[in-house]
Amino acid sequence: MNASRIAVAVNPTSGQGRGAALGDAAVAALSTLGASVQRLEGTSAADLAARIAASLDHEDVDALVVVGGDGMVHLGVAAVVGTDVPLGIVAAGTGNDIARTLGLPVRDPQAAATVLLEKLATGGRRIDAVEVRPEETAGDGAPRWFAGVLAAGFDAVVNERANGWNRPRGRAKYVLAMLAELPRFSARTYTVTLDDEAAAVEKAMLVALGNGPSYGGGMRVCPDASMDDGLTEVVLVREVPVPTFLRIFPRVYSGSHVRDPRVVVHRARRVRLDVEPVRGRKIVAYADGERIAELPLTCITHPGAVTVLA
């Protein structure tokens, strides 16, 4: 039997720098298990994406494996969607929410390599991917894809602020960004359009669209989202005073926030989101922890669009 040809894309910066060593271990484990490995690395996510695209175009690869966190899965999904190349994940990030949802080993490259070669032999599993179409004129207009959660409320505002800081690293950065944003934060006026329904206006603190249930290392913001139901779960936390928000929000760890009457849950295949600007600014959405674009945008769920080795 010919060895499986696997392109392994490594994000050395993932997991606060642990990604490099975990990438080495994943390459070694896959090679030991008999795979023929092509290791890919870039100077940035965009550079790595270009290298992956070139490899998928010009080499005959049986699978693309990403080593990193949700941001690397995000990059991998965009690379393989619309192809028949399956995606393997060696979870080496900080949160690793998508890998956890798929039941994959976390920070254990040996176990991850074993699972992904087994799944490559048996065909893996299809999951939905969500296409994001921003309406802003800036950018290259290329569609973006996500597999986990798109944040477009308080969580996105916090992410945008944290993104502008180099330090501190890890979770502390998000906690500080949250503390900085909270005093000035208030509900925003969203226009939400679900499938063919009429647009609804909602004053909300948080709007999250989940293909998967969680972000941030186990915050189950869209607790009942399923990656293979062809739908996105839309969770809105309606306008409440900040102290009430602070009581509701931590319940995302258990997912019980959705039982609060001020939290609304919908399911749809196509969701358009817009928001009224505050001080001249709209909200920049984040998906799988990655910066996407300013609202308005439309998210379209593509059922079974990606095969994952899980």
Ligand X SMILES: Nc1ncnc2c1ncn2[C@@H]1O[C@H](COP(=O)(O)OP(=O)(O)OP(=O)(O)O)[C@@H](O)[C@H]1O
Name which position in 25, 55, 65, 68 contacts ligand X (CB under 6 A).
68
Which among 19, 70, 85 has a CA at the least distance from the CA of 213? 70
Is 163 within 8 Å of 236 (Cβ atoms)? no
* Least gap, CB of 271 to ligand X (angstroms): 23
Lookup: tokens for 303: 């059922």
Identify which range of 67-75, 108-116, 126-134, 153-161 contacts ligand X by CB under 6 A.
67-75
- Residue 191 phi, psi dihedral angles, 5° rounding: -115, 120
Considering the complex, state which of residue 49 and residue 300 has its C-beta at the smaller distance from ligand X.
Answer: 49
* Other Cβ atoms closer than 10 A to 169: 11
Per-residue x/- track, 262-291, ligand X (CB under 6 A): ---------------------------xx-
Position 44 contacts ligand X (CB under 6 A): yes
Considering the complex, state which of residue 163 and residue 256 has its C-beta at the smaller distance from ligand X.
Answer: 163
Identify which range of 90-98, 107-115, 182-190, 243-251 contacts ligand X by CB under 6 A.
90-98
Position 14 contacts ligand X (CB under 6 A): yes
- Kindly tell me the burial class for residue 104, based on how many C-beta atoms sit within 10 Å of its own C-beta (0-12, 13-18, 19 or more): buried
Instruction: Report d(CA 27, CA 88) in Å as an integer.
Output: 13
Identify which range of 62-70, 134-142, 149-157, 185-193 contacts ligand X by CB under 6 A.
62-70
Beta strands in 74-222 (DSSP E): 87-91, 125-134, 144-146, 149-151, 188-194, 200-210
Position 4 contacts ligand X (CB under 6 A): no
Position 237 contacts ligand X (CB under 6 A): no
* Least gap, CB of 39 to ligand X (angstroms): 12
Q: Which amino acid is at 209?
A: L
Position 93 contacts ligand X (CB under 6 A): yes
Position 72 contacts ligand X (CB under 6 A): yes
Instruction: Report d(CA 300, CA 208) in Å as an integer.
Output: 14
Considering the complex, state which of residue 212 and residue 296 has its C-beta at the smaller distance from ligand X.
Answer: 212
Instruction: Report d(CA 271, CA 233) in Å as an integer.
Output: 10
Catalog residues that contact ligand X under the rule CB under 6 A.
Answer: 11-15, 42-45, 48, 68-72, 93-96, 289-290
